[in-house]
A and B are shown apart, each in its own frame.
Chain A
Amino acid sequence: MKKPYSEYLLSNGFKVLLKEIHSAPLVSSWVWYRVGSRDETTGHTGISHWCEHMQFKGTPQFPSSILDRAVSRDGGMWNAFTYFDWTTYFETMPSDKIDLGLRIEADRMVNSLFEEKEVASERTVIISEREGNENEPAFLLGEAVQNAAFRVHPYHHEVVGDLSDLKSMSRDDLYAHYRNFYTPNNAVMSLAGDFKTNEMLARIRELFEQIPARPTPPRIFRPEPAACGEHRLTVEGPGETTYLDISYHASAAKDPDFFPFTVLDSLLAGPSSLNMFGGGGISNKTSRLYRALVEKELAVSVSGGLTASADPFLYSVVITVNPKRKPDEVLAAFDAEIKHIQEQDTPVAEITRAIKQARAMFAYGLENITNQAFWLGHAEMFAAYDWFLGYLERLATVTPADLQKVARQYLRPQNRVVGMYIPNGMEVQA
């Protein structure tokens, strides 16, 4: 079968993925860099995210105010995200206007200014972003759990970085990071939408192929040693609501275990949407944990999350505890469900149901050009686009035995961190 997209490698190592979709007069264009919080060392946490902010602060050709106005004037949407494994920039624009997006990305791959005064102003903006996150109990708890789960691997710290580093990093640190990692050979471009592949490729070559390749630093290779016992921690803070975050070391997205793990998550906590844009999820009221915890009035909500990451990250279940119950009661009921899925065969019908749910959510995501271009590039950051194209097929091959194996291998107490958010003044259960 003909591949539903085209793939090219430019002479400078810049990889380009193009997918024509003519359902709406739109094009979404993304440039992905293989740099994220995992590439940061102590003292420089948050530098990738800060660099991402600085990419909106202008080049000699496109001063900062010009950039925003130009994209908005054409009715476009643009933004950027930094994650553990990657940093990405996108523009979704009417098809006849996308050239502006291409020109901006080619320009800021090399020409961003990182002016001292802009660095100073953005420092306080990012500190404010972190302070906003700290207002949320879920952030405080998630950060503590992540810190405890990764002692060695650089997935240890949050993308936004630690306050002390945000206060101390200099303009030169930021600029060096930019120059080190923003190279065509360390990037992937993905476009989906209403264009002709040969014309689009010619234009991309014209803009990007002249940017010389440069060596980039090797990724930090510090695999997390196997956990050898359960960690428990508490975070205390304002409010009246208790939360539990139970996080297990999980598999990387490329690992064959990731697919049974996805089905396992779907059965336990409800299906997670793959759609970053416009997809929407579905409810999880018939999932096993909802029935065991919310229907039994131990909790008021439960959700699960498995991250598609390059290295093994975490499978996290976050529970909002019913105010009339104690967190330890909730944890005991949670553990009983885990034990059940480890010991009892899962009916095939339950797996078939999870596949249908995934198929529906996959279909919802197809409506959105931005989402399509997102996946075209995102999958390259931890595997390849074929990972996404084969996703439903791979899920369909999962057997009850696969599910049980993954549940037994990963969902062990020795492999997890249990975090509790306890409101100030409330008694902590032993």
Chain B
Amino acid sequence: MKTINQHSLPGSDDIFRRALPNGITLLVRTNFNSPSVFIGGYLPCGSLFDSDEKLGLAEFTASALLRGSEKRNFQQIFNELESVGANLSFSAGGHTVGFSGRCLSEDLPLLLDLLADALLHPVFPREQVERLRAQFLTGLAIRAQDTAEMASLTFDQIVFAGHPYARPDDGWPETIQAITREDLENFHHLHYGPHGLVLAIVGAVEPEILASQVASVLGEWSNLSQPELPALPELKLLKKRITRKIKIPGKSQADIVIGSSGPHRKDPEFMPASLGNSVLGQFGMAGRIGEVVREKSGLAYYASSSLSAGIGPGAWDVSAGVNPANIQKVRDLIGGEITRFVEKGVTVEELADSQSNFIGRLPLSLESNAGVVGALLNIERFDLGLDYYRRYPELVRSVTPDEVLAAARQFLHPDRLAVAIAGS
């Protein structure tokens, strides 16, 4: 198995971490090889706070942050950003609202000022809110026609029934219609604040200088009303196989998603499940799934498995885009592979291949500033420790075929899978 130079990976000796008194955590890694800077972060005000009636409020609020502030109107904000080729955007997930941006190093003070302005002083101009609403509604109309998105959304509804993860973060047409400008303002007033905000910055920057810049724009921010995120209810596991079909007329291809819930990111089963998932439907040309569905049978252009794990329960699924006439065949093939996977697990050789891939691809995933920002946020969000990426090869290597099999059996039950199909 290959070795890698540990010191090219981020670690405690080159990650600068500072907790500001108001609850903000700043992470910085210097890269003077690059003329640009990437920033990313999150704060705990995601769609878990949304009511069913106004689902999409967190996303709507996040998207409206750059639509006008006390200091700048919409065109001024984007004129400042775009004039220097910089980028900044916000988007809501379940637990958090995430943001990311990039600029040339010389423009970082401007980017930080715009970030702080958007977070602290948005004014939600009525006209802009309506414009954004029209864009959301069109986005939802396009989503309703997208077989892959609708299959995925339907899959979540089955697997996470009764749990907030069953709901799409971008809501439904009727819930987007129900949201008022005042809702956005109230949501921001109540939920946005420095407590739990994490900001990661990578590029040609001096950490101490940067820390004082960040403190000057965000250090005074406080919000005593910020509530804790609501506790997640326990997920009810499926008791039998559930299949749901969504009809979207006029489509040449149908999408199919089959699977179940998966581990939390912090569960000890995460790494064995992740390596197992690689064997099942990632490694090489999409692992065993790619081999049987695409390579041997020629039934799909794409067929693979995925494991998404976060703060709460994740999803472990196999998806494919297929001709409507082949849906049953593909279902059978995927079902057969899942059964084989939970009955026999993976071979020593298959596991070694995926372990080697996980370790070998680290330099590629961390070559850019954006990649390192992602790694720093991952470390912080899941409390992995600053030396996580240096320990990572060992963590990967220590997984055994028995642990993979145990994880597979814990989460994937061939007789209790969710099956979602969208298409003509």
What residues of chain A have their CB less than 8 Å away from a CB belonging to chain B? 23-26, 56, 64-65, 68-69, 71-77, 92, 94, 96-97, 120-132, 134-135, 137, 237-241, 270-271, 278, 280-286, 291, 294-295, 297, 300-301, 320, 322-324, 353, 356-361, 363-364, 366-369, 424
Flag the segment in B21-29, B232-240, B257-265, B352-360 that touches A.
B352-360
What residues of chain B have their CB less than 8 Å away from a CB belonging to chain A? 2, 4-5, 8, 33-36, 74-75, 78-79, 81-87, 89, 102-104, 107, 131, 134-135, 137-139, 141-142, 144-147, 248-253, 283-285, 291, 294-302, 321-323, 353, 356-364, 366-370
B225 CB to nearest A CB, Å: 32
A229 CB to nearest B CB, Å: 32
Contact of A297 with B131 in the complex, beta carbons under 8 Å: yes
Contact of B84 with A356 in the complex, beta carbons under 8 Å: yes
Q: Which residues of A contact B284 (CB under 8 A)?
A: 65, 68-69, 71-72
**Chain A minimum-CB-distance residue to B297:** A121
Question: Given A25-B5, A68-B285, A239-B145, do A360 and B250 touch, yes or no (CB 8 Å)?
Answer: no
Q: Which residues of A contact B35 (CB under 8 A)?
A: 363, 366
8 nearest CB pairs, A to B? A75-B360, A360-B85, A68-B284, A238-B250, A121-B298, A131-B252, A75-B361, A124-B298
Contact of A74 with B368 in the complex, beta carbons under 8 Å: no
Contact of B102 with A280 in the complex, beta carbons under 8 Å: yes
A29 CB to nearest B CB, Å: 13
Contact of A271 with B85 in the complex, beta carbons under 8 Å: yes
Q: Which residues of A contact B131 (CB under 8 A)?
A: 294-295, 297
* Partner of A239 from B34, B79, B135, B142 at Cβ < 8 Å: B142
Q: Which residues of A contact B139 (CB under 8 A)?
A: 300
Contact of A97 with B2 in the complex, beta carbons under 8 Å: yes
* Partner of B138 from A24, A25, A241, A357 at Cβ < 8 Å: A241
30 residue pairs A–B, Cβ–Cβ below 8 Å: A24-B363, A65-B284, A68-B285, A69-B283, A71-B284, A72-B283, A73-B357, A74-B356, A74-B357, A75-B2, A75-B361, A75-B363, A94-B363, A97-B2, A121-B295, A121-B298, A132-B252, A132-B321, A135-B252, A241-B145, A282-B86, A285-B82, A286-B75, A300-B139, A301-B135, A323-B138, A357-B82, A359-B85, A359-B104, A367-B369
Which residue, B85, B135, B353, has most C-beta atoms of chain A within 10 A?
B85
Contact of B357 with A360 in the complex, beta carbons under 8 Å: no
Contact of A129 with B87 in the complex, beta carbons under 8 Å: no
Contact of A361 with B85 in the complex, beta carbons under 8 Å: yes
Question: Given A125-B298, A129-B301, A135-B147, do A283 and B87 touch, yes or no (CB 8 Å)?
Answer: yes
Q: Which residues of B contact A359 (CB under 8 A)?
A: 85, 104
Q: Which residues of A contact B33 (CB under 8 A)?
A: 23
Which residue, B35, B82, B141, B356, has most C-beta atoms of chain A within 10 A?
B82
**Chain B minimum-CB-distance residue to A349:** B83
Q: Which residues of B contact A301 (CB under 8 A)?
A: 135
Which residue, A92, A294, A364, has most C-beta atoms of chain B within 10 A?
A364
**Chain B minimum-CB-distance residue to A92:** B364
Complex-state Cα separation, A324 to B141, whole angstroms = 13
B372 CB to nearest A CB, Å: 10
Complex-state Cα separation, A75 to B357, whole angstroms = 4
Q: Which residues of B contact A320 (CB under 8 A)?
A: 138
Contact of A124 with B135 in the complex, beta carbons under 8 Å: no
